[in-house]
A and B are shown apart, each in its own frame.
Chain A
Amino acid sequence: MRRLLLALPVLALTAGAAFAQPKDTLVVDMPGDVATMDPHLQWDTESYTVYRNIFDNLVTRDVSGKIVPQVATAWKYTDDKTIVFDLRSDITFQDGSKLTPEDVAFSIRRIINPDFKSPQLSQFDQIASAEVTGPAQVTLKTKTTYPALMAQLVKLSIVPKAYVEKLGDQKFNQEPMGSGPYRLRAWQRGVQSTLDAVDTHWRGKPPFKTVTFRAVPDIPTRLADLRTGRADITYGLSPDDAEAMKAEKALQLLTVPTERIAYLFVNPTATATKDKRVRQAIAMAIDRESIISALQQGYAKPVNIVLTPANFGYIADIPGWPHDPAKARALIKAAGAEGATIKLITSPAYDRRLNEAVQQMLGDVGLKVEISMTDQPTFLKRRQGTPEEAESLSQGRWSCACQDADGVIFPLFRSGSIWSKMSNPAFDAEVDAARVTLDEAKRLSHYRKAFEILREEVPGVGLFQNVAIYLARKELKWTPTANEAFFVTDMKWQ
């Protein structure tokens, strides 16, 4: 112990030196460690945040959300199920080898191969084949007409075929190598991943020489890291944390409304909510404005439907249900549901206060809400189970990472989907039709009709558009995007 005490002043000095770091590095505090470095395996936020900087994507989105070229320079549909991509031929992987159409076709075939067991398979399994059809060309065929294809391909990282085949899948996951602006220097599991800039990258010299992604699970610890300069940016904070950090002069909050929609599921086929009047009453009992101002501290945007404006298919002029407790109470009385007990199922993954707010608001109009909490896998099993298992209510935060209505209301409300407890043929026809045409105007008109049905039927209530909160050093310049992408090349010190 005495030795430890003697060592303290020295340690203090070395710790102090870390604060005055030269600004060609970036340190990111993440709530967890990377699960896999192989971009075709896990896609949890942390893995995604790190490996997307090591690889290039076939296409990407610009700050406004528009799909723009990256490895592909242009694309065109030759028929409803065939799309031809022209590719850049000046891209090299980090080992100096050229990125070829073979690598692109290989990357697609790899992720859609069922034997590879990719958890991302369901995002790409509408792709039937990928063939090299020219010296700088790849042709994809989809199983059906599939308008969400481009949105899905935003998430496709291109991996080097020869390198992956040489190393094998398991080793590639440990020592990933791509054509992105950063290469992995070291991955200390549970501690951090360190990335070095590829100075000769085809998109230009990256803004930081090294980037370190640290795993720091506890929020107060991440905040302390930011306050002492040990880290430059972090995420995964609650609105309350953000408010508490507003007073820190050296720090700034960066926020962006995302494509993530917070909604309240209302079961249309089982329990007291089977009666449409009860569901409509619930929609009118919820005070969304108070939820946004009091619980979210303003870090949220109001929505009128179960979709955000960041998604294709958002219909701005469908009126949301007004907040009208008196009318809600009358409707519940008319439905004979006054005093009825309904269950709200939930897990620790969801905001406890929001559950309690819903409980209170519905209590005010005559419904007794019982909150039933389980762990996340059990919650999912119930929520995705039979209508009886799903109970009356549950909150959700949905993001398809595709910014398209198809990825939201199709899985949530189309009959036959595990999330949907609704069976409405008119609604099914609209979302099915929107799925099989590439004509955007036609798709929008189908979604308008679909949302009109949802407004009447209320199988769910849109609560708010989620806002992503990042806490960063004041000198960091960056505009976060609606798809919560974390591309280091979009940031810089000023």
Chain B
Amino acid sequence: MIRHLAGRLGQALVASFGVLTIVFFVMRLSGDPTLLLVPEGATAEQIAALRHALGFDRPLFVQYLSYLADLARLDLGESLVQRSGVAGIVAERIPYTVELAAGALVVALGIGIPAGVAMAVWRGGMVERLLAGFVLTGQSLPTFWSGILLILLFGVHLRWLPTSGADGLSSLVMPAIALGALTMSTFARMTRIAVLDELSRDYVSAARARGLSLGAAVARHVLRNAAIPVVTIAALEVGNLLAGAVIVETVFAWPGIGQLAIQSIAARDFLIVQTVVLFVSVVYIGMNLLADIAYAVIDPRIRLDR
């Protein structure tokens, strides 16, 4: 178990390092931020002077080595645009994204799993058809559009919820729904397939023969067995939630790392972009690792040492 984990951790480190290197060079492919920072009328000499002061006139590889050296000292550097520590800037935004992703996960699990179970149990009926339509809607609406629709309905028309910002639970509701919709649909579909698969097994017939109602059989036996594929998906979906947060945060003016990433990419604030990407990749890799461990806990037949 421990050896397996150490191996996975090693892979995770290599993957993060790879991501970091790619982002470093790709960001710099189309030039540095000097031109975006100077006033419009600046002369070539003034631009060159600022470029030199910021260190962008050094060869790319030298910049890369100096970045790695700083990173080894756990120094994430200073933002070019905001002129303050990158670690602090990103750390300030992370709680917002975590809150949003958690809210979306609550929406996704809270609606997706019951909907999936219901679709499996009442297969072929009106319930399944209605729910299937609902799930398909959640899956096909792009968030930049569904977000605006939510704002217009609940914010402008009904005035139930604030139209933007991040003041407490009330402002979390709409972004969480917008972000969670796609994941909800994925959960619903996966749960439906997994439960259907289990329902056709002999142990279910045996349980029913013992006099258990369908509901009790599902609750007691089927759900547990159907959980494994759903857990795998859950781990991957966290990654998707982080990616989706980029758009949802912009629409709802939610101050998380997604919005920060967009602004920093536009302003070529390299160090912030690199740090955000590093954070997201570490989360993604970490979640997969967690899913691995969770299998073993849910299903004792799975042994991590091969």
Contact = CB atoms under 8 A, between A and B. Distances in A.
* Chains A and B are bound partners: yes
Interface of A: 1, 4, 7-8, 11-12, 14-16, 18-19, 29, 32-33, 35-36, 38, 41-43, 114-115, 117, 119-123, 125, 169-170, 173-174, 188-192, 214-218, 220-222, 224-225, 227-228, 230, 374-378, 380-381, 384, 398-401, 407, 410-411, 417-418
Contact of B148 (A125, A192, A220): A220
B119 interface: no
A319 to B, nearest CB: 27
B39 A401 contact: yes
Given A7-B169, A224-B164, 18 more contacts: A4-B169, A15-B170, A18-B162, A32-B263, A125-B46, A190-B259, A214-B164, A217-B250, A217-B262, A218-B252, A221-B151, A221-B163, A224-B156, A228-B156, A230-B163, A377-B32, A377-B35, A418-B47
A41 B83 contact: yes
A16 B173 contact: no
B82 interface: yes
A384 B35 contact: yes
Contacts of B173: 4, 8, 11
Contact of A225 (B164, B262, B267, B268): B164
A259 to B, nearest CB: 12
A231 B159 CA distance: 14
A120 to B, nearest CB: 7
Contacts of B32: 377
Contacts of B250: 217-218
A384 B40 CA distance: 11
Given A1-B111, A188-B255, A214-B253, A119 B39 contact: yes
Interface stretch (B48-56, B191-199, B290-298): B48-56
B58 to A, nearest CB: 16
B247 to A, nearest CB: 10
B84 interface: yes
Contact of B37 (A119, A188, A381, A400): A119
Going nearest first, the 5 A-B pairs with the smallest beta carbon separation are: A190-B255, A1-B110, A11-B170, A216-B253, A224-B163
Given A377-B268, A400-B41, A216 B83 contact: no
A43 B30 contact: no
Contact of B39 (A4, A43, A115, A410): A43
B107 interface: yes
A33 B84 CA distance: 15
A375 B30 CA distance: 8
B41 A119 contact: no
14 contacts: A11-B169, A12-B161, A114-B49, A122-B46, A123-B41, A191-B166, A217-B263, A221-B251, A225-B163, A227-B156, A228-B159, A381-B30, A400-B41, A418-B43
B286 interface: no
Nearest to B152: A224
A444 to B, nearest CB: 20
B159 A12 contact: yes
A227 to B, nearest CB: 5
Contacts of A121: 46, 49-50
How big is chain B's contact interface, by range? 35 or more
Contact of B81 (A19, A35, A188, A189): A35
Given A32-B263, A173-B84, A1 B107 contact: yes
A224 B160 CA distance: 13
A8 B49 CA distance: 56
A411 B106 contact: no
B7 interface: no
Contacts of A220: 148, 151, 251
Given A224-B163, A225-B163, A378 B49 contact: no
B158 to A, nearest CB: 8
A36 B83 contact: yes
B36 interface: yes
Contacts of B38: 119, 122
B42 A230 contact: no
Interface string B257-283: 001101100111000000000000000
Nearest to A222: B164
B44 interface: yes
Contacts of A375: 30
Contacts of A8: 160, 173
Contact of A217 (B33, B84, B259): B259
Contact of B83 (A38, A218, A377, A378): A38
Contacts of B111: 1
Contacts of B253: 214-218, 221
Given A15-B159, A36-B82, A384-B35, A114 B255 contact: no
Contact of A191 (B81, B165, B169): B165
Nearest to B111: A1
Nearest to A215: B253
B274 to A, nearest CB: 17
Interface string B52-88: 0110000000000000000000000000011110000
A4 B39 CA distance: 48
A399 B165 contact: no
A224 B155 contact: yes
A189 B255 contact: yes
Contacts of A376: 36, 266
Nearest to B165: A214
Contacts of A378: 30-31
Contacts of A218: 148, 250-253
B8 interface: no
A123 B46 CA distance: 10
B40 A15 contact: no
B89 interface: yes
